[in-house]
A and B are shown apart, each in its own frame.
Chain A
Amino acid sequence: MRDPNAIDFWRGFALVTIFINHIPGNTFERYTFSQYGISDAAELFVFLAGWSIGIATRGRDGVPEPPGKSVVRLLARTVEVYRAQLTVMLLALAIIAGAALLLDNPLILEWHNAGGFFADPIQSVCGMALLTYQLGFFNILPLYVLLIGVAPVFVLVGRVSLVAALVLSGGLYAASLVFEWNLPSWPGEGDWFFDPLCWQVLLVLGFVLQRWNLRSDVLRRWSRRLFPAGIAIVVAGIVLSVAEIRPDPMLVPSPRLLFTFEKTYLTPARLVHFLGVLLAFAPLYALLAPRLGHIVGYLTQLGRNSLAVFSMGSILSLIGQLVRFQTGGGLLIDMLVAGTGVIGLGFTAWFVEWRTRNRSPRPRP
């Protein structure tokens, strides 16, 4: 088990934020940082995934592991995430269908685009296996499967040259913005909610920055120097989001994705804002860690077990939405839902670590 560190802490922080944001309309939503900026917790989560790849693909001594080993390691992770996505989707559909039956309310079947599945299960089940059929709020894991799946390419290029990996990734990002490339949804029309061709740039950025950070002091020096710029960007983000100022996608010049704030394409404004958030808040962990003992312990434990916690968080937030819907919401219900969720996420992380600790060579029951 790793000791508490900044990466796991921020990952845990992102996980709790995503959980709260996935119960729309709840009281605590307005206290998450996602409401006060252009980018949100999804950016943080993907960036930290890239950073973690940087850590995972080298040994304790800092020497990169053999390339083959990195590729297999990432492949194994891809399989894990894919399995998690299938499990979570099946459970989500069952919860939606079960709630509709129990409450005798077909309205619930329409939740998060699930209606498409129940109306057309033959195509949808294929789409589910292909990751092209996604439920609303259940679209980060498909992105994650793809990103970890293609990560070996960038890791291998990065072994030769980190700049080359960044150029390759940035080129794909820029081209996807200009030509509006995205993967299609199926069945049904439309595209992926998180465009992997754009979002990969954040993963690669995390990976490359981790390596540079390790290699020399230049990055740290510059991030200290750019700290005021980070603060300025964060303030600008707060002003823009509170005043609800954003460009009209119909009026911006072409290619429009260079100018809009669209989450699907991780547009440049979101990327710049995220980097600003990074500059402004990265130093915070060192200040917080000694003062927030238990909270740091809790969040880093979530961060260490991010896949299980994220999966459980998706399910818990769906249940939370149903509870809010059926009871009519209100502060008390919201406190109950959020409180149960936060404890549930903590239990999930604890349970995964307990199971790993107790895994013995004895045959399992």
Chain B
Amino acid sequence: MAYPQQVSEAAPVSPAARAGRAARPRLSLILSLLLAGPVQAEQVADPGAGEPGLSQECRVPGAQLYAAAQLGAVKAALAENRPLKLLAIGGSAAPGASASYPAKLEAALERALPKVDVVIDHRGLPGEVASGAAERLRTMVVEAEPDLVIWQVGTHDAIARVDAEAFEGALTEAVAWIRSHGIDVVLVDPIYTASMAADVDYNRIVEAVRTVATQQQVPLVRRYEALHYLSSRSDRGEGHMLGRQFRLNDLGLRCMAEHVALTIVTSLARTEAPPEPKPDPAAPPLTGPQGAPG
């Protein structure tokens, strides 16, 4: 896999990435560290009781929470011992700026991946994937140069009543484009809420996100299923002044970071180690002394 080099050819390389590439060492140590944590988590996983590692209120069985897939670019970034750059798209912050989704995600990932510096760029992407938002996404990806895009997708298209096939086509194209540039993608499907449960169009959009994730072989956070599970379980407990659906929504926002982090970590555990990086004949100077910071 030579994609970090491909990226560096196309776009300016950030100093941090360059620094990471210049020091490309201790592969085995990092890999062993990496593999140890998540695999362990998987072994104890009990589908009935919900994934451990999740806080009590967010606990959902793994099967209803995620579909794992390979994350080659993330693995490569970790192997190169450089900060992991994530671009998180969509998902508003939960109440209280300090406990917002990106901050929680960063914390959850840094807990799960010790010694890894996680840097998150969080952007809103209003508009429909099927008309325009996919183009803006490209701009964001070029600007952020991430290793991984975590894309909460489908809500706007569902609200705009975009045809599910048009949505699926546009999403497929966008995901394929990101991956063609050696960047990993994790998709997060729309929320579950009672008033939409019977809505055929809405379910088709959720279904489309799932289809694209399967076809493009990218991990999927099944937020719809997870929230559905939590809604059936959480009848008790304190009410919400705006009603039950709003309480569930709050819970979904609180849990999203944990759910995304678990999906990433599980997917990483299933990702084969990148081959020993060999020098790229096209651009050896980039990774050499010139690439060093300073």
Contact = CB atoms under 8 A, between A and B. Distances in A.
B139 A262 contact: yes
B97 A120 contact: yes
Given A104-B245, A107-B190, A108-B159, A137 B126 contact: yes
Given A105-B193, A118-B92, A188 B242 contact: no
A25 B160 contact: yes
A252 to B, nearest CB: 9
B126 A328 contact: no
B161 interface: yes
Interface residues of A, number: 46
B185 to A, nearest CB: 14
A14 to B, nearest CB: 18
Contacts of B123: 188-190
Interface in B44-82: none
A122 B90 CA distance: 20
A190 B124 contact: yes
Nearest to A256: B142
B208 interface: no
A264 interface: yes
A324 B161 CA distance: 7
B159 A119 contact: no
Given A24-B127, A190-B124, A106 B249 contact: yes
A116 B128 contact: no
Nearest to A101: B242
Given A120-B93, A321-B160, A112 B141 contact: no
B187 to A, nearest CB: 16
Nearest to A265: B139
B32 interface: no
A119 B95 contact: yes
A119 B100 CA distance: 9
Interface string B169-180: 000000001000
Contacts of B94: 119
Contacts of A106: 191, 193, 242, 245-246, 248-249
Contacts of A249: 138-139, 142
A123 B126 CA distance: 19
B11 interface: yes
B162 A250 contact: no
Contacts of B127: 24, 136-137
B122 interface: yes
B207 interface: no
A106 B90 CA distance: 15
Interface string A279-296: 000000000000000000
Interface of B: 7, 10-12, 90, 92-97, 100, 121-124, 126-128, 130-131, 135-136, 138-143, 155-156, 158-163, 177, 181, 190-191, 193-196, 201, 242-243, 245-246, 248-249, 253
Interface of A: 24-25, 29, 101, 103-113, 115-116, 118-120, 122-123, 135-137, 180, 187-190, 246, 248-251, 254, 256, 260-262, 264, 321, 324-325, 328-329
Given A249-B139, A256-B142, A324-B160, 12 more contacts: A25-B160, A25-B162, A103-B195, A107-B190, A111-B156, A113-B124, A113-B126, A119-B100, A120-B97, A188-B123, A189-B122, A246-B135
